[in-house]
Amino acid sequence: MEQIRKLKDILGAVKSEQEKRIVSVAYGQDLHTLQAVSNGVKEGFLKAVIFANKSEVKRVAEANGIDTSMFEVVDVPEEKEAVRQAVRMVREKKADFIMKGLCQSATYMRGLLDKDEGLLPPDAILSHVTIIESPNYHKLLIVSDVAVIPQPDLKTKEMMINYDVKIAHKFGIDNPKVAIIAAVETVNLKMQATIDGAILSKMNDRQQIKGCIVDGPLALDVAVSKESAEIKKLNSLVAGDADILIFPNIESGNAFYKSTTKLGNAEIAALVTGTIAPAVLTSRGDSEESKLYSLALAALMSRA
């Protein structure tokens, strides 16, 4: 497979495979979920099983010209039970990944995290990764965490790096460049993000974190702009050419994600990582293309 450089390349990669992937959809009875799933089926890489109120699925689909014969609908009127059954289908390996429908995010997350019936292994963490294609940057950016972990500690950031590096490798990036984001490039004992950045960088030097190049702390401008790095006289293999951005907290990551999409015309794909199978968590505010790219990303990551 050629290196993935654009979001459309993810779609191309999964469409080129003969075997279609199966998505288990939790409470998928709303228009944006049905549209996303039907688009994936039409593109030829997806099969879908939807756990939802069957009459509501039919009503929404008929009102919007969506052909329900494209997917299987299992009649489960109650939200929590729909999530449970969608999760179980993935646990039983009857589906390759899961997607959130109309259910509340908290209900969806509880289903993923359930100790007895969920999808999170004992030693893993639930994190969120966003793939950003910006017209103002020369390649894709893999970003964590903008939606799940409020305040990641050092160990959590290490695991986030490993999850994101796995995605980068799937994209054909053999040695991705990881920037640990902080406000400055020097260690300040009053700023935990700078301390974490320095430690993670040294852990990478000592091969405790493998398969990538880690540098930090790095301010955002330095991570994505060689000119900024040159002005600051910073010697770094990552500066200006980062593949992966690890943010210090959810506020900074979320603000970056929303500013790039709402003000910078970026497109995204996103999923939840750490689970035994990919988990799609789209927003009603995401574009049609972003939802389709998220399904394609999950399909790609579900392959061995």
CATH number of the domain bearing residue 91: 3.40.50.10950
> Whole-structure pTM over 0.85, yes or no?
yes
Other CB atoms within 10 Å distance of the CB of residue 66 = 19
- Same domain as 235, residue 119: no
Q: Is 38 in the same domain as 64?
A: yes
Q: How many domains does the chain have?
A: 2
228 plus 294 within the same structural domain: no
Which among 19, 284, 243, 81 is positioned nearest to 294, based on CA atoms? Answer: 284
- Say whether both 133 and 67 belong to one domain: no
| Inside any domain, residue 268 | no
Show the domain range for 149. Answer: 127-262
Residues 198 and 143: their CA atoms lie apart, in Å, by 19
Helix (H, G, I), strand (E, B) or coil at 271: strand
**Amino acid, single-letter form, for residue 105:** S
Question: What's the confidence (pLDDT) of residue 304?
Answer: 66
Token pair 């009053």: residue: 190
Q: Give the whole-angstrom CA distance, residue 223 versus residue 215.
A: 9
Residues 169, 292, single domain; the answer is: no
Give a yes or no: residue 267 inside a domain: no
User: Does 116 share its domain with 136?
Assistant: no
The verdict on 181 and 285 lying in the same domain is: no
d(CA 39, CA 54): 19
- Whether residue 116 sits in one domain with residue 135: no
Distance CA 160, CA 202 (A): 16
Q: Are residues 104 and 136 in the same domain?
A: no
**Would residue 269 count as lying in a domain?**
no
Does residue 237 sit in the same domain as residue 283?
Answer: no
**Per residue in 136-166, pLDDT tens?**
999 999 999 999 999 999 999 999 999 999 9
CATH classification at residue 134: 3.40.718.10
d(CA 196, CA 180): 8
Q: Does the residue 1 lie in any domain?
A: no
Quick one: pLDDT at residue 46? 97
Query: Among all chains, which residue has been given the structure tokens 């497979």?
Result: 1
Residues 70, 107 share a domain: yes
Over the chain (304 residues), what is each successive 10-residue block's mean pLDDT? 92 93 96 94 97 97 96 97 98 97 93 95 95 97 95 98 98 98 97 98 98 98 96 95 98 96 94 96 80 96 86
Joined tokens for residue 270? 């996103």
Any domain includes 270: no
CB atoms within 10 A of CB 137: 16
50 and 68 housed in the same domain: yes
**How far is Cα 218 from Cα 191, in angstroms, rounded to an integer?**
13
Task: Say if 2 falls within a structural domain.
Answer: no
Three-class secondary structure of residue 303 per DSSP: coil
Q: Is residue 47 part of a domain?
A: yes
Looking at residue 18, what is its pLDDT?
86
Domain assignment present for residue 226? The answer is: yes
Q: Beta-strand (E) ranges in the chain?
A: 21-26, 46-52, 72-75, 97-100, 127-133, 141-144, 177-181, 213-218, 244-246, 267-273, 279-280
